Amino acid sequence: MVVPAVDNAENQRAMDNGELYWAFTDSLVAQRRKCTAAIFSVKELPEPVADAAAEEAQLENYPWIEAPFRCDYGSRLRISQNVFINFGCVILDTGIVTIKERCLFGPNVSLYAASHPLDPDVRNGIAGPELGRPITIEEDCWLCGNVTVLQGVTIGRGSTVAACSVVTKDVEPYTVVAGNPAKFVKIADGPAAKAYHERNSH
Q: Please name the residues in contact with 111: beta carbons below 8 A apart, sequence gap of 6 or more.
A: 89, 90, 91, 92, 93, 97, 135, 137, 148, 149
Out of 32, 70, 102, 116, the active site residue is 116
Beta bridge partners, 154, equal 136
Bridge-based pairing of strands 175-178 and 183-187 is: antiparallel
Q: For this structure, is 116 an active site residue?
A: yes
CA–CA distance, 199 with 145 (Å, rounded to integer)? 31
Structural element, H or E, at residue 198: helix 191-200
101-119 as b/e: b if 16+ CB within 10 A: bbbbbbebbbbbbbbbeee
Bridge-based pairing of strands 97-99 and 77-79 is: parallel
The residues assigned a catalytic role are 116
